[in-house]
Amino acid sequence: MPTIQDVARRAGVAPITASRVINNNGYASQDVRQRVLRAVEELGYVPNTLARSLRSRRTNTLALILTDITNPFFTTVARGVEDAASDAGYTVIFCNTDENEDEEQKYLNLLLQKRVDGILLVPARSGHGAIQSALAQGVPLVVIDRRVANEPVDVVRCDSEGGAYALTRRLIRSGYQRIALLNGPKGVSTAEDRAAGYLRALAEAGLQEHALVFYGHFTQASGAEMTTRALLHQPPPQALFAANNFIAIGALQKIRELDVRIPEDLALVGFDDLPPALVTFPFLTVVAQPAYEMGQRAARMLIDRLEGRLSGECREIILPAEIIIRQSSGPIHLEEETTP
């Protein structure tokens, strides 16, 4: 593979001159410019970014560490990240942790060695280890989707508490009183926030004693399993609130298996919408998160930091969730919003 030296030699100039021409920076006579460009062409010269990065200390590479790119929510986030990064001339490395903190730390070390310019992280659990490692090395980092306590980092996330509150409230106002929450694991902020919103809505309606929260995992299997447990509870819930898309799908499958009708016998709502292109059955009432926008905003924020357009205090961008009413929450019979 030819180097800039080869190009220079062929053009009869010094390497630095070739560099100037190639990078369009500094002066160069027409004659020299042409000779260099021709040499580049003839040799099929491809600049070596490694060497450039070694000097410049910039790799134009970001890392995206998430739990599982197979989850359509994160897939969409990833697409947003890549689009924004690509627009700005950055490349994205992606890593799946499966919620495992060891994996997360392993990847992080690897990425620090690779000298990525910045990191986008969906922390497994509270994931402080990874955050601290990155901050210690002075590598800018933006957390996506989840809160982290007591760490000075930028965050882009969705209003899980507010979304869960609004949807739960909506259910209550539709007449449901016994609503079970099929949640993710404790220790993950989104799970905790969704529980908090759910509980706030119940409390506000004086339904605290009907609170019923199951903690599991953000997976289909766990959703099915929690559904079984929920339906065994006495008295059984009238509605299930699944804390993410996989849990909702697991619940849906279990409910069908049991020949329980939605929404006649049981209402089912969820957090995370599936992208329109994936919805084979537009049926579930959900709280939808702006996944693409989250990825895009996070990447832009990170790049703004890298390029000095943003500095100082950490920011927290909290995007609103949107409630999409479909059939699974039953007919709408709201009480009047304004009471006499």
Partner DNA sequence: TTGTACGCGTTATCAC
Partner DNA sequence: GTGATAACGCGTACAA
The residues that touch DNA, with contacts defined as CB under 7 A, are 1, 3-5, 12-17, 19-20, 22-23, 25-29, 31-33, 47-48, 50-52, 54-56
CA distance 286 to 301: 28
> Shortest Cβ distance from residue 121 to a copy of itself (Å)?
15
Q: How far is the CB of 53 from DNA (least distance, A)?
A: 8
- Cβ proximity to DNA: between 46 and 279 the closer is 46
Nearer to a copy of itself, 136 or 232 (CB): 136
Say which entry of a copy of itself, DNA, none residue 96 contacts (CB below 5 to 8 A, set by partner kind).
Answer: a copy of itself
Examine residue 92 and tell whether it contacts a copy of itself (CB under 8 A): yes
**Span interacting with a copy of itself, options 166-174, 188-196, 206-214, 249-257, rule CB under 8 A:** 249-257
Site for a copy of itself in 268-327 (CB under 8 A): 274-284
In the complex, the smallest distance separating the C-beta of residue 32 from a copy of itself, rounded to whole angstroms, is: 23
Q: 258: which DSSP letter? A: T
List binders of a copy of itself among 130-189 (CB under 8 A): 136-138
Any idea which residue has 């709502």 for tokens?
269
Q: Residue 7 in contact with residue 21, Cβ under 8 Å?
A: no
Give the one entry of a copy of itself, DNA, none that residue 279 binds, where binding means its C-beta sits below a cut-off of 5 to 8 angstroms depending on kind: a copy of itself
Nearest distance in Å: CB 307, a copy of itself: 18
Using alpha carbons, select from 247, 161, 326, 262 the residue that is nearest to residue 169.
161
Cβ–Cβ < 8 Å for 272, 315: no
Question: Residue 308: which of a copy of itself, DNA, none does it interact with, CB under 5 to 8 A by kind?
Answer: none
Residue 287's closest CA among 264, 319, 311, 263?
Answer: 319
CB-CB contact of 323 with 163 (8 Å):
yes
> Which one among 40, 95, 166, 213 touches a copy of itself, defined by CB under 8 A?
95
Q: How far apart are CA 115 and CA 315, in angstroms?
A: 24
Nearest to DNA of 115, 326 (CB atom): 115
Residue placing its CB nearer to DNA in the complex, 19 or 59: 19
Cis status, amide bond into 237, omega within 30 of 0: no
Tokens 């509980």 belong to residue: 199
CA angle (113 as vertex; 100, 23 as ends), nearest 5: 130
CA 251 to chain centroid, in Å, comes to 23
- Whichever of 137 and 228 has its CB closer to a copy of itself, that residue is 137
Instruction: Pick the piece of the chain touching a copy of itself (CB under 8 A) from 17-25, 53-61, 201-209, 314-322.
Output: 53-61
Q: Report the site for a copy of itself in 68-87 (rule: CB under 8 A).
A: 68-70, 72, 75-76, 78-79, 82-83, 86
Residues in contact with a copy of itself, shown as a per-residue x/- string from 99 to 138 under the rule CB under 8 A: ----------xxxxxxx--------------------xxx
Smallest CA-to-CA distance from 89 within 306, 240, 312, 250 is with 306
180: tokens are 């079970």
Contacts for 336 with CB less than 8 Å, ≥ 6 apart: none
Phi, then psi, of 132 in degrees rounded to 5: -65, -40
Please provide residue 93's backbone torsions phi and psi, each rounded to the nearest 5 degrees. -100, 135
Residue (of 40, 9, 14) closest to 28 by Cα position: 14
User: Phi and psi at residue 141, in whole multiples of 5°?
Assistant: -145, 135
N residues, the chain: 340
Is residue 258 within the footprint of a copy of itself (CB under 8 A)?
no
Nearer to DNA, 137 or 253 (CB): 137
Q: If binding is defined by CB under 8 A, does position 260 make contact with a copy of itself?
A: no
**What residue ranges bind a copy of itself (CB under 8 A)?**
1, 44, 46-51, 53-54, 59, 61, 68-70, 72, 75-76, 78-79, 82-83, 86, 91-96, 109-115, 136-138, 219-220, 246, 249, 252-253, 274-284
